[in-house]
Amino acid sequence: MYILAIETSCDETSAAIVDQTGSVLAVETISQIPIHKKYGGVVPEVASRNHTLVILPTIQKVIKKVFKTDDLKIGLHKIDALAVTVGPGLIGSLLVGVNTVKTLGYLSGKKIFGVNHLEGHIYANWIKSSVTGYQLSVTGKQKLITNHQSPITNIEFPALVLIVSGGHTSLIKMLDHGRYQTLGQTLDDAAGEAFDKVAKLLDLPYPGGPEIEKRAKLGNPETYNLPIPMEKSQDLNFSFSGLKTAVLYLVKKTKDIQKDDLCKNFQDVLIKSLLQKTSKATRIHKPKSILLSGGVINNKALRQSFKSYFQKHFKDINLYMPDLLFCTDNAAMIGAAAQYQSLKSSGKNWYDIDVDPNAKLANG
């Protein structure tokens, strides 16, 4: 079963075709980062306008790649169903993807799977891919990553999921496909948001995560001593706004701030906080698998810290993290989530699909 999936919840326009095994046959992602960089963050109105400019060419590209045709109608005929992110996200951005897919559904009569963006991030762990992945910016082409292989076949439940993105930081118990219980979440800023805000404080470009990671590689971990967020808290919630404020005070009172050293210390304590809470949740809930997901999982120091920690302390639990190409927003993860939905439902008609900017994961 071929699903054509679309993701436009924030500032990435992405289309993918995924088959029933979770294999990604094609994925194209157009990032608007170069456009939003000059504003220091995503400008919602600008984001939706740019989605409208590139969404149809992006869809055409994946159709051409898989079905070898420039004709959208012929391509649509070969697709079995459509999928789209309905929320959470920026309403204007979501509307572009959802209305495009509704139109395709209307024209083709194909059913549509509405996918929660967070569920998409989680299902990035089920993606199998050997495609060449491209990430293109609206203002210029850049080939990022090629030739991926994720040999994941059978993730055992219950799984503990850590979602760490620009908008969310949550620990979730996944009882089965589509069944979630939120165990804890951030009380204020998301971890990705903290990376972005701290980068801004240090006059580093948006998005802050990759920039801080780059600087942290050169930094001395001993120069500064920021507090580990929520170190003493008994629950499974997170909080990162205090850490951001600590950075603000440090920057204000230090004449010659060592940016690389501060990036290193900030990144270290943020990773420690994520690790401490995930480890606590693992001890309490005894999952069979741990799944990491979301844009911040791109961070190689974080990936390495989780790998070493779980290998040392929880040898019997399998730790999964998506390929780098599928950590930040992309349509392949939306297609993978839709493939699992399709095992239980045949999807909706175009007139029954709508955006839900504040969508929550279904608890149960």
Window contacting ligand KG4 (CB under 6 A); options: 205-213, 242-250, 281-289, 332-340 = 205-213
Please give the full DSSP string across 192-208, using - where no structure is assigned.
Answer: HHHHHHHHHHTTPPSSH
- Helix or strand run (H / E) with residue 4: strand 3-7
Closest approach of Cβ 121 to Zn ion, in Å?
6
- Report the candidate in 241, 238, 144, 254 with the shortest Cα–Cα distance to residue 196: 241
Query: How many residues make up the chain in this entry?
Result: 364
Query: Is position 341 an interface residue for Zn ion (rule: CB under 5 A)?
Result: no
Window contacting ligand KG4 (CB under 6 A); options: 152-160, 162-170, 227-235, 340-348 = 162-170
Q: How many of the other CB atoms lie within 10 Å of CB of 319? A: 18
- Report the candidate in 166, 184, 57, 69 with the shortest Cα–Cα distance to residue 121: 166
Query: Is position 10 an interface residue for ligand KG4 (rule: CB under 6 A)?
Result: yes
Q: Which residues of 190-223 are buried (b: 16+ CB within 10 A; e: fewer)?
A: bbbbbbbbbbebbebebbbbbbbbebbeebeeee
Q: Residue 345 and residue 355: Cα distance in Å, rounded?
A: 19
When binding is defined by CB under 6 A, the residue of 87, 97, 105, 166 that contacts ligand KG4 is: 166
Instruction: Choose the contact partner of 296 out of Zn ion, ligand KG4, none; CB within 5 to 8 A by kind.
Output: ligand KG4
> What are the φ and ψ backbone dihedral angles of 301, each rounded to 5 degrees?
-65, -40
Is 56 or 324 the residue whose CB approaches ligand KG4 more closely?
324
Query: Is position 219 an interface residue for ligand KG4 (rule: CB under 6 A)?
Result: no
Annotate each residue in 163-202 with x if it binds Zn ion (CB under 5 A) or - if it does not, as one string: --x-------------------------------------
Is 115 or 199 the residue whose CB approaches Zn ion more closely?
115
Is 67 or 326 the residue whose CB approaches ligand KG4 more closely?
326
Is 75 or 294 the residue whose CB approaches ligand KG4 more closely?
294
DSSP 236: S
Is 22 or 210 the residue whose CB approaches ligand KG4 more closely?
210
Is 97 or 166 the residue whose CB approaches ligand KG4 more closely?
166
Query: Is position 329 an interface residue for Zn ion (rule: CB under 5 A)?
Result: yes
Closest approach of Cβ 165 to Zn ion, in Å?
4
Annotate each residue in 121-160 with x if it binds ligand KG4 (CB under 6 A) or - if it does not, as one string: ----------------------------------------
Closest approach of Cβ 165 to ligand KG4, in Å?
3
Q: How many of the other CB atoms lie within 10 Å of CB of 276? A: 17
Please tell me the count of residues contacting ligand KG4 according to CB under 6 A. Answer: 19
Query: Is position 306 an interface residue for ligand KG4 (rule: CB under 6 A)?
Result: no
**151: its two tokens:** 């040999």
Q: Residue 220 and residue 224: Cα distance in Å, rounded?
A: 9
Do the strands 169-176 and 159-164 form a parallel or antiparallel pair, or are they unpaired? antiparallel
Q: Residue 55 and residue 12: Cα distance in Å, rounded?
A: 10
Query: Is position 293 an interface residue for Zn ion (rule: CB under 5 A)?
Result: no
When binding is defined by CB under 6 A, the residue of 87, 92, 133, 167 that contacts ligand KG4 is: 167
Please give the full DSSP string across 282-305, using - where no structure is assigned.
Answer: HHHH--SEEEEESGGGG-HHHHHH
Q: Residue 278 and residue 169: Cα distance in Å, rounded?
A: 11
Window contacting ligand KG4 (CB under 6 A); options: 94-102, 131-139, 206-214, 351-359 = 206-214
Please tell me the count of residues contacting Zn ion according to CB under 5 A. Answer: 2
Do the strands 133-137 and 23-31 form a parallel or antiparallel pair, or are they unpaired? parallel
Query: Is position 42 an interface residue for ligand KG4 (rule: CB under 6 A)?
Result: no
Q: Which residues bind Zn ion (CB under 5 A)?
A: 165, 329
Q: Which residues bind ligand KG4 (CB under 6 A)?
A: 10, 165-167, 192, 195-196, 207-210, 213, 294-296, 298-299, 328-329
